[in-house]
Amino acid sequence: MYWFLNNNVYSDIVLRKEYLAPRHLNLSDIDYVGAHFWQIHKNGTEFINWKSMGAVAFMTVIIFISFSIVFYCGYQIYTRMEIMSSIQSAGSKNLQSQLFWALVFQTLIPVFLMHIPASIGFITSMFNQTNQFLGEVVTYSIFMYPALDPLPNFFIIKSFRQAILDFFGCLRKGMVPANSKNTNSQKQNSAQVDQN
């Protein structure tokens, strides 16, 4: 990928003017790699940087293969779950269903927080119609991904949801914690032994 997205004279000029000068930096202070689709000759004419186009095409193929594998495996898991449902207990079926839907939502989160914003940024850049706001949206959405990725597990899987509610004390006050039940039954058993 570095060969496709490495720095060149045309990208250096744009980087100096748009990014480095306002921040009082020099090109020697940084290293960079990135797609620069439309470059400008010294005479002012624009031309397409086919290396950047090739890099994005390669990344698109890799993402397509990745999603194809995810959807294929998801479909296979779903069909196998349906076949096995006749010999599973109700509790096992319920847990399998919760895990399946948690995985579905964990697949959708990076799609909406990384792939779609980055694709919009690349597509608009390819047509020379981008602006700085799109780059900031991608940056913030990628930052949000690690925080939001585990949330489907917490809300969909019942035991996780129950543990969180117990931790934050959101259950009714009349409920007795599981440990206190064991302690009470141990006290009753020891009292019975003492009486005998």
pLDDT tens profile 19-28:
888 888 888 8
**Statement to judge: residues 89 and 154 lie in one domain:** yes
Mean pLDDT (the chain, rounded): 80
**Residue 153 in domain:** yes
**Statement to judge: residues 147 and 81 lie in one domain:** yes
**Statement to judge: residues 29 and 103 lie in one domain:** no
Number of domains in the chain: 2
**Residue 146 in domain:** yes
CB atoms under 10 Å from CB of 99, counted, come to: 15
Q: In the predicted model, is pLDDT for residue 169 greater than 70? A: yes
Q: In the predicted model, is pLDDT for residue 190 greater than 50? A: no
* SS3 readout for 80-113: HHHHHHHHCCHHHHHHHHHHHHHHHHHHHHHHHH
**Residue 134 in domain:** yes
- Which residue range forms the structural domain that includes residue 100? 59-176
> Is-contact 15 27, C-beta < 8 A?
yes
**Statement to judge: residues 40 and 137 lie in one domain:** no
SS3 21: helix
**Statement to judge: residues 82 and 113 lie in one domain:** yes
> What pTM was estimated for this model as a whole?
0.63
What's the pLDDT score for residue 72?
93
Band of pLDDT at residue 1, cut at 50, 70 and 90: low
**Residue 188 in domain:** no
